[in-house]
Structure 1
Amino acid sequence: MPGPEATDATEVDPGHIVELERALARVAYLLTRVRRHDQAMVQCGITMDRASVPLLRLLADADEPMRLGEVATRLDVEAPHVSRQIQRLEKTGYVERVADPDDRRAQLVRPTDSGRRAVEAFRQVMRGWMRDALADWTPEDLKSLAVLNHRMVDDFLDHAEIIGDFGATARERPHRSA
């Protein structure tokens, strides 16, 4: 829900939206480049393809094992894609399948201890890069950036839910603050 400082959508300067979109595209590009991923894997001492990283992160952050369909929905990808990635992650020992206690015919997937360690190693490398890149920022600026980014993502998710995209859920958004 917008705060009192929010303006009507018709009052938003289109130039600001253009610049924001450009900035977000640059960030997405920088964070998802193949070379950056390969460097992170070397620093972590692990092997994992780029498509598996968000999947394993999602599973590591989940409170309980998840069905493959739920994983696909949350990542906004097709179920066959998730099945292939899960098979790869199983082969590397990063995830395991377990029986669904509510339906023994169904299976859930969860990270192994090795998978959790891999996610944490990857996060540490990424956080180190961010810490180095933002070393000259003040603590106040870093806090403001984090708060505004969470607010933006929350608003994007709220808008997506209105138009029927339920890929991410409210329980994944604990950072609602101004």
Structure 2
Amino acid sequence: MSEPEDAAEQIAGLLDGIVRRQRRAGRESFGESVTHGQFRVLRTLDHAGRALRLSELAAQLGIVPRSATSVVDDLEAAGLVARQPDPDDRRATLVDLTPDGLKILSTLREKRRAVMADQLARLTPEEQQTLANLLQRLAGN
């Protein structure tokens, strides 16, 4: 293996470990009540700032509509999202966060932030900014 491939594998492994810690922190916060997929739905609805059609939600998540329907079913049963008819298309259904969904999302985000802040405390403020800049470049933002 060449050195760039070794570096790529090492970086991929390190990033995987960081993501696993973030997910574990979420599970510890809520037990098994909110999965990573459910968190993604809640976060996507929050970022949209409005109710979304199931098809829009699925597209934004990069999943098939049937999968989105299953996740929304579970979130609705837990009282974290609510469905409503689309006033512009009676065949479509809109999904939006409930107050409980917003509360859990806020709590989970804070827990994830705290876990990341704990990890980042090992770095100087300058190193943290360098890491953020490099990750933004890699993310293409």
TM, length-normalised to structure 1? 0.67
- Distance apart, 1:150 and its partner CA: 2.0
Name the one with the larger helix percent: 2
Greater alpha carbon shift after TM alignment, 122-131 vs 38-47: 38-47
Q: Counterpart in 2 of 1:57?
A: 43
Residues 28-177 of structure 1 aligned to structure 2 (within 5 Å): 28-32=16-20, 37=23, 39-44=25-30, 47-154=33-140, 176=141
CA distance in 1, matches of 2:40, 2:117: 21
Could you say what secondary structure the match of 1:108 adopts?
strand
Is residue 44–residue 125 contact of structure 1 (8 Å, CA) maintained in 2?
no
Specify every segment of 5 or more residues in structure 2 that has no aligned partner in the other structure, as ranges.
none
Structure 1 unaligned spans of 5+: 1-13, 155-175
Question: Aligned AA for 1:108?
Answer: L
When residues 144 and 75 of structure 1 are mapped into structure 2, their CA distance, relative to the original with a 3 A threshold, is same
Amino acid at match of 1:131: A
Q: How many pairs does the alignment contain?
A: 140
How big is the shift at 1:29? Answer: 4.6
CA gap of 1:99–1:147, structure 2 versus 1, over 3 A, is: farther
Displacement of 1:93 in angstroms is 0.7
Deviations 1:48-96 (A, max 9, x none): 1232111211112212111112222222222111110000000001111
Distance 1:17 1:101, change over 3 A: farther
Indicate the percent of aligned positions where both proteins have the same amino acid.
29
